[in-house]
């Protein structure tokens, strides 16, 4: 069977899993020229009034209404399965569908509730979508490679197991880019995943399917992974809150990866949702399952409510990245006008709320960018190349460009040297923060742009440096690009070739209406305090 035949079989099988009554008629589909489909579910009358109400609730609200008996798990599951099916037909975001198994699980949860009068956990009956990396028994985990199709998982990832113990319902797995290593989501299996806010723009990556689905309210809570920005990028692009914890806080056991054992820069999993409260609720619910009992790499740290309350109360000091007096600039690639305006909006809101804002000078970010690239691609792309070539599929453009560079692999001694350099940098940056220890958390862009035009993601350092440091980070929705306000500076003089290419890519008309988010960084393993800080920023933005 050729790779094209394998893909055709997969696409047909995926479509067949969407019930006929949930398929959108051709005359109901929005025209390709219609950029935004974010309100399609509300305007199309395809969902019932009850389904619309359910799918706009927060995770906490869903869990509360199920626990009170106002909704059954089956009602909630049905609503989200229906909305996810619509989302896929509009933005192409699903790799795996298990609606029948999900409804069966929901029915069992309802039976338990009727019999015992209580829930099995804090996520009882709450549908949760998973990035394709997470194994679910009976489903595939291709991670964007055609060679990954046809193999069904017989075991589940530790995250999947813990979610089920908390009462969550797994109903879909979402799309990722070929190799997982780019900030967009495109592959040869289902093609490109689009942004529901503007289909001319990227949904982000590599947890892009999660970003698009949760952004469309086709899921109340998504779980992604992040090795260079893969949770934060799609969250910012789709107007979502997210948390990338420190390593050793949430389990990565039994996930599908291009190659196991590469832990120099560990991939980390975390939640993506519509409110900061839902991130706190998820962490509390998940950590109640004591995942450190199942993953030996985790530290035994339960949810610390006291630290969370400390973060969300009292006046704080926030650092904001700045170079040459320009807030939001890392000194390498200048952010587009909507991003700079979003940073300023956060600064003004925090100051009005009585918080202190100071400049945060980035420490050797160019060096850090080069270092993390060398570590992540220490094998010269050999594992990616093997995974692609084994099926005969072509490399997607971004990966093709990388493989054509023919970057040589490095020997073990060189890798050890890079790991030593990483530790030295981490220590230096920690000392840098200690010299400004009054700063509670620091703010910077997620990317130099909002949701980027397809195929135009060029610069990752705003997120990847944080992975190198292994500090927790969050995304916070701020505003939306406005072509009338966010005018391109035609007099801007770039400081390097990459900066020029990124800035030239800004078009106020195309980016109009795209979500603008920022990134908040905290100290290692202080996720509770960081979530509390983020809640303060969110409250300041509302006032």
Query: Which residues define the annotated binding site?
Result: 180, 206, 227-230
- Could you give the 3-state DSSP secondary structure of residue 458? coil
Count Cβ atoms within 10 A of the Cβ of residue 488 and give its class: 0-12 exposed, 13-18 middle, 19 or more buried. middle
The length of the chain is: 543
Q: Are 74 and 100 in contact (CB under 8 A)?
A: no
CA distances from 6 to 57, 141, 145, 151, 506 (A): 38, 15, 11, 12, 38
Q: Are 333 and 502 in contact (CB under 8 A)?
A: yes
Q: Which residues of 416-437 are buried (b: 16+ CB within 10 A; e: fewer)?
A: eeebeebeebbeebeeebeeee
Q: Dihedral angle at the C-alpha atoms of 451, 453, 458, 459, nearest 10 degrees? A: -20
Count Cβ atoms within 10 A of the Cβ of residue 513 and give its class: 0-12 exposed, 13-18 middle, 19 or more buried. middle
Q: Is 206 a catalytic residue?
A: yes
Q: What is the DSSP string of 369-420?
A: HHHHHHHHTTTTTHHHHHHHHTTTPPPPHHHHHHHHT-PPP--HHHHHHHHH
Taking the C-alpha atoms of residue 54 and residue 80, their distance in angstroms, rounded to an integer, is 8
Taking the C-alpha atoms of residue 469 and residue 447, their distance in angstroms, rounded to an integer, is 17
Please report, in range form, the residues annotated as the binding site for substrate. 180, 206, 227-230
Taking the C-alpha atoms of residue 155 and residue 99, their distance in angstroms, rounded to an integer, is 19
Out of 10, 65, 129, 131, the active site residue is 131
What is the 8-class DSSP label of residue 322?
A: E
Out of 142, 157, 230, 349, the active site residue is 230
Taking the C-alpha atoms of residue 140 and residue 405, their distance in angstroms, rounded to an integer, is 31
- Could you give the 3-state DSSP secondary structure of residue 186? strand
Question: Phi and psi (nearest 5°) for 339?
Answer: -70, -45
H or E, element range at 356: strand 356-360
Out of 141, 157, 202, 206, the active site residue is 206
Taking the C-alpha atoms of residue 292 and residue 151, their distance in angstroms, rounded to an integer, is 29
- Could you give the 3-state DSSP secondary structure of residue 110? helix
Q: Are 415 and 313 in contact (CB under 8 A)?
A: no
Question: Phi and psi (nearest 5°) for 23?
Answer: -80, 135
Q: Is 257 a catalytic residue?
A: no
Q: Are 371 and 420 in contact (CB under 8 A)?
A: no
Question: Phi and psi (nearest 5°) for 173?
Answer: -120, 145
Q: What is the DSSP string of 473-504?
A: EEEEEEEE--TTTS---TT---SSHHHHHHHH
Non-local (6+) Cβ contacts of 373 within 8 A are none
Q: Is 235 a catalytic residue?
A: no
**Residues labelled catalytic:** 131, 206, 230
């Amino acid at each position: 069977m050729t790779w094209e035949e394998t893909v055709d079989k997969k696409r047909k099988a995926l479509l067949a899993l969407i019930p006929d009554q949930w398929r959108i008629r051709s005359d109901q589909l929005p025209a390709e020229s219609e950029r935004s489909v974010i309100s399609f579910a509300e305007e199309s009358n395809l969902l019932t009034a009850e389904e619309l109400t359910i799918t706009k609730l927060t995770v906490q609200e869903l869990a509360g209404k199920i626990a009170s008996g106002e909704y059954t798990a089956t009602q909630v599951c049905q609503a989200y399965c229906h909305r996810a099916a619509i989302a896929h037909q509009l933005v192409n975001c699903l790799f795996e569908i298990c609606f029948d198994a999900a409804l069966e699980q929901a029915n069992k949860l309802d039976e338990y509730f009727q019999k015992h009068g209580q829930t099995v956990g804090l996520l009882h009956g709450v549908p949760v979508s998973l990035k394709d990396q997470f194994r679910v028994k009976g489903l595939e985990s291709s991670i964007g490679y055609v060679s990954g199709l046809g193999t069904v998982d017989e075991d589940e990832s530790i995250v999947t197991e813990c979610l089920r113990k908390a009462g969550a319902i797994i109903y879909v797995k979402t799309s990722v880019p070929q190799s997982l290593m780019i900030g967009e989501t495109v592959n040869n299996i289902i093609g490109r995943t689009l942004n529901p806010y503007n289909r001319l723009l990227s949904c982000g990556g590599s947890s892009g399917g999660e970003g698009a689905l949760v952004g469309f309210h086709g899921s109340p809570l998504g779980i992604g992974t992040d090795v260079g920005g893969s949770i934060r990028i799609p969250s910012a692009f789709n107007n979502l809150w997210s948390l990338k914890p420190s390593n050793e806080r949430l389990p990565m056991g039994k996930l599908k990866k291009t190659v196991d054992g590469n832990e120099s820069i560990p991939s980390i999993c975390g939640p993506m949702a519509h409110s900061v409260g839902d991130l706190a609720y998820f962490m509390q619910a998940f950590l109640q399952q004591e995942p450190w009992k199942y993953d030996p790499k985790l530290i035994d740290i339960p949810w610390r409510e006291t630290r969370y309350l400390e973060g969300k109360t009292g006046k704080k000091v926030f650092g904001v990245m700045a170079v040459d007096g320009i807030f939001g600039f890392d000194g390498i690639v200048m952010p587009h006008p909507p991003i700079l305006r979003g940073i300023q909006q956060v600064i003004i809101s925090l100051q009005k709320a009585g918080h202190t804002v100071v400049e945060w000078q980035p420490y050797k970010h160019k060096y850090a960018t080069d270092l993390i690239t060398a570590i992540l691609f220490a094998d010269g792309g050999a594992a990616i190349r093997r995974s692609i070539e084994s099926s005969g599929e072509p490399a997607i453009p971004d990966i093709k460009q990388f493989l054509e560079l023919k970057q040589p692999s490095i020997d073990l001694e060189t890798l050890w040297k890079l790991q030593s350099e990483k530790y030295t940098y981490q220590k230096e940056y920690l000392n840098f923060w200690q010299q400004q220890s009054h700063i509670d958390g620091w703010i910077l862009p997620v990317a130099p742009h909002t949701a980027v035009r397809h195929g135009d993601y060029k610069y990752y350092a705003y997120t990847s440096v944080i992975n190198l440091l292994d500090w927790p980070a969050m995304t916070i929705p701020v505003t939306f690009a406005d072509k009338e306000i966010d005018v391109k500076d035609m007099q801007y003089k770039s400081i390097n070739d990459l900066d020029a290419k990124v800035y030239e890519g800004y078009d106020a008309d195309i980016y109009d209406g795209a979500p603008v988010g920022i990134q908040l960084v905290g100290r290692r393993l202080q996720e509770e305090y960081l979530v509390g800080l983020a809640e303060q920023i969110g409250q300041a933005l509302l006032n």
